[in-house]
Amino acid sequence: MRMARQLRRYEAPVVDPALDHLPPLLRRVYAHRGVRAAEEIDYALAGLLPVDRLSGIPRAVDLLEDALRAQRRILVLGDFDVDGATSTALALLALRAMGARDVHYLVPNRFEYGYGLTPAIVEVAAGISPDLLVTVDNGVSSIEGVEAAHAHGMQVLVTDHHLPGERLPAADAIVDPNLPGDPFPSKALAGVGVIFYVMLALRSRLRGCGWFEQSGIADPNLGQFLDLVALGTVADVAALDRNNRILVEQGLRRIRQGRCRPGIRAILEVAGRASSRLRAVDLGFVLGPRLNAAGRLDDMSVGIECLLSDDPARARELAIRLDGLNRERKDIEADMQAQALDRLGDFFATVPEQLPSALCLYEPDWHQGVIGILASRIKDRTHRPVIAFADAGDGELKGSARSIQGVHIRDVLDSVAARWPGLISRFGGHAMAAGLSLPSAHLEIFREALDLSVQALVDPDQLQAVVHSDGPLAVDEIGLDGALMIRDGGPWGQGFPEPVFDGEFELISKRIVGERHLRLRLRAAGGREIDAIAFNAAIDDWPERGGRVCIAYRLDVNEYQGRLSPQLVVEELLS
């Protein structure tokens, strides 16, 4: 059950002469993604946007420098997803490398305290007695939480990347590229990218005043933390503009060279993935889910401790635990997805176009920690914004929203809150993902309000599922050289998608592998044969041997027993 997707090829690109040194295939792909100059695919660290463009940096560095000089107690308050975990680990490791001796972390348990700097979690933080509280990947909407922290005598530095509300918290400093009027050119930094920039600025200040020499501390190389930046950026589905591509590519290079955190290496080993050929997609689909499972089912401190550990044996022990949590998460998610699809079955059985513009899903026994990934899965199938709800107790529901390109889900929720005051208890997030709470008695009204708000904000064509294609490949491009060229031409991801091509092939053979996947042998024009795989495919939709198929596909590299070969990964069976 999946909404059929239309094929839409990119318009013929205008290729800048500056890209003439590239092979024609890469020139075409890059031009489709708006690349107009060679520097846009130069991922050297020198190309990063300047630190001083973030408006809150000077005051943030003042707070951190004062805390270091006086050896005040610093508490990092994180979030329970991968961006929050990597942000927390990076902040602790970098501060310790710069001489902080009294630095700790705290991550709210999502089931007890919910998201961010709430007054309730401040009470827990007060037990640690910090002088300076630093939020990472949260805090820009925590008005009451900052007030509570101040009441306990804490200074508060907020580092975040989420969109702020109408009011900002009265923190001692806020660093967030999405603050109104902030001049930082990239609004796509993940939380881990923001704290990385803060640490870069702090190191620059400390260098300038001779801190490292005076303290007998080696000037730290913050590049050693780019593996964490890459992981958090991709796992949070941040748009890969050039600045983020630099951060991700540099982090990937460190991981491939074996110069990553022992915890990252351990998770990859437990997952059976070789670090030497790691791609950006692996950060999101191999590392990310295992770390996220800790925050979804247990306590994200398990994931943070794995990232912080310098002991390979301890890191592996924690990686094995994370892998087990991820398997448990998959089982829970499969049951929830089956229930959700069963409820949506009537729509698919009649006219899919009758689906509402946005979907609200709820079952009383759904797991609060898994609703986000459920919303994402249903969004992919229906090409609609989806909010999945779970019972949070005391008559409240917690929802996790995932959206599609062109539908800014936080703006949608803001519209609902403005038109129907009191309907939503609280909400926050960004363009593609958000979280919210509301009284369970408001669910049906909210469902109608959400649908009306999405209808008012989007064109119906935006709700039509589309697969964008870079066009057909020439016969000589469908091979290992082309596949390696595409693989190494990234990093690919949100906002800079991996190339998809389309073409017609003769089906030579097909067989089921792994219960739900199809292993295919195809013949292209000119007689070249190539392997292909269609994940989660409906075998009855495919013709018998000798039939013709038109598919949208990715050109990928398959590695088996040390041997590399090209394969097509089917994105859509078009006919």
SS (H, E, C) 472-492: CCCHHHCCHHHHHHHHHCCCC
Q: How many CA atoms lie within 13 A of 16 on its CB side?
A: 14
What is the residue-averaged pLDDT of the chain? Answer: 91
Kindly tell me the burial class for residue 131, based on how many C-beta atoms sit within 10 Å of its own C-beta (0-12, 13-18, 19 or more).
middle
Residues 6+ positions from 421 with CB-CB distance below 8 Å: none
Q: What is the pLDDT of residue 121?
A: 95
With respect to residue 341, please indicate whether it lies within any of the assigned structural domains. Answer: no
Q: What is the pLDDT of residue 499?
A: 97
Residue 575 vs residues 417, 506, 520, 544, 550: alpha-carbon distances, Å: 43, 12, 16, 13, 5
| Element spanning 359, H or E | strand 359-362
pLDDT tens sequence across 452-479 = 999 888 887 778 888 899 999 998 899 9
Instruction: Answer whether 108's CB lies under 8 Å from 118's CB.
Output: yes
Q: Give φ, ψ of 70 to 5 degrees.
A: -90, 0
Instruction: Answer whether 250's CB lies under 8 Å from 223's CB.
Output: yes
With respect to residue 107, please indicate whether it lies within any of the assigned structural domains. Answer: yes
With respect to residue 235, please indicate whether it lies within any of the assigned structural domains. Answer: yes
Query: Residue holding tokens 């990472």?
Result: 136
Do 100 and 51 lie in one domain? The reply is yes
With respect to residue 135, please indicate whether it lies within any of the assigned structural domains. Answer: yes
What is the side-by-side strand order in the sheet with 426-429? 359-362, 386-393, 396-402, 433-439, 426-429
Q: What is the pLDDT of residue 346?
A: 62
Do 526 and 420 lie in one domain? The reply is no
Q: What is the pLDDT of residue 55?
A: 94
First to last CA, the chain: 17
With respect to residue 424, please indicate whether it lies within any of the assigned structural domains. Answer: yes
184-215 in b/e form (b: 16+ CB < 10 A) is bebbbbbbbbbbbbbbbbbbebbeeeebbeee
Tell which wins on pLDDT, 383 or 267: 267
Do 419 and 534 lie in one domain? The reply is no
**Structure confidence at residue 347 as a pLDDT band (50, 70, 90):** low
Q: Which of 219, 240, 257 is the last residue of a domain?
A: 257
Indicate if the pLDDT at residue 489 is higher than 90: yes
Do 541 and 557 lie in one domain? The reply is yes
Instruction: Answer whether 149's CB lies under 8 Å from 117's CB.
Output: yes
With respect to residue 16, please indicate whether it lies within any of the assigned structural domains. Answer: no
With respect to residue 564, please indicate whether it lies within any of the assigned structural domains. Answer: yes
Angle, CA of 497, 503 and 506, to the nearest 5°: 135
Mean pLDDT within 525-544: 86
Diameter over CA atoms, the chain: 76
Do 433 and 488 lie in one domain? The reply is no
Q: What is the DSSP letter of 41?
A: G
For residue 165, what are the domain limits?
46-257
Nearest CA-CA partner of 141 in 171, 111, 121: 171
Tell which wins on pLDDT, 352 or 364: 364
**CA dihedral for 174, 179, 180, 185, sign (positive or negative):** positive
CATH number of the CATH domain containing 512: 2.40.50.460
Tell which wins on pLDDT, 174 or 109: 174
Do 97 and 72 lie in one domain? The reply is yes
Cut 0.85: pTM above it: yes
CATH number of the CATH domain containing 449: 3.10.310.30
Mean pLDDT within 60-87: 96
Kindly tell me the burial class for residue 346, based on how many C-beta atoms sit within 10 Å of its own C-beta (0-12, 13-18, 19 or more).
exposed
Q: Are strands 501-513 and 548-560 parallel, antiparallel or unpaired?
A: antiparallel
Q: Which of 439, 463, 487 is the last residue of a domain?
A: 463
Instruction: Answer whether 115's CB lies under 8 Å from 428's CB.
Output: yes
Do 459 and 543 lie in one domain? The reply is no
With respect to residue 316, please indicate whether it lies within any of the assigned structural domains. Answer: no
Angle, CA of 444, 446 and 448, to the nearest 5°: 75
Indicate if the pLDDT at residue 387 is higher than 60: yes
Do 374 and 403 lie in one domain? The reply is yes
**Structure confidence at residue 135 as a pLDDT band (50, 70, 90):** very high
Q: Look at the chain and report how many structural domains it folds into.
A: 3
Indicate if the pLDDT at residue 2 is higher than 60: no
Residues 6+ positions from 437 with CB-CB distance below 8 Å: 114, 392, 396, 397, 398, 399, 424, 425, 426, 427
Do 404 and 551 lie in one domain? The reply is no
Q: What is the pLDDT of residue 4?
A: 64
Q: What is the pLDDT of residue 20?
A: 83
Do 154 and 216 lie in one domain? The reply is yes
Q: How many residues does the chain have?
A: 575
CA distance 259 to 251: 9
Q: Which of 257, 286, 303 is the last residue of a domain?
A: 257
**Structure confidence at residue 566 as a pLDDT band (50, 70, 90):** very high
Do 494 and 387 lie in one domain? The reply is no
Residues 6+ positions from 151 with CB-CB distance below 8 Å: none
pLDDT tens sequence across 390-399 = 998 989 999 9
Indicate if the pLDDT at residue 291 is higher than 80: yes
Query: Residue holding tokens 């003769």?
Result: 506
Do 151 and 62 lie in one domain? The reply is yes
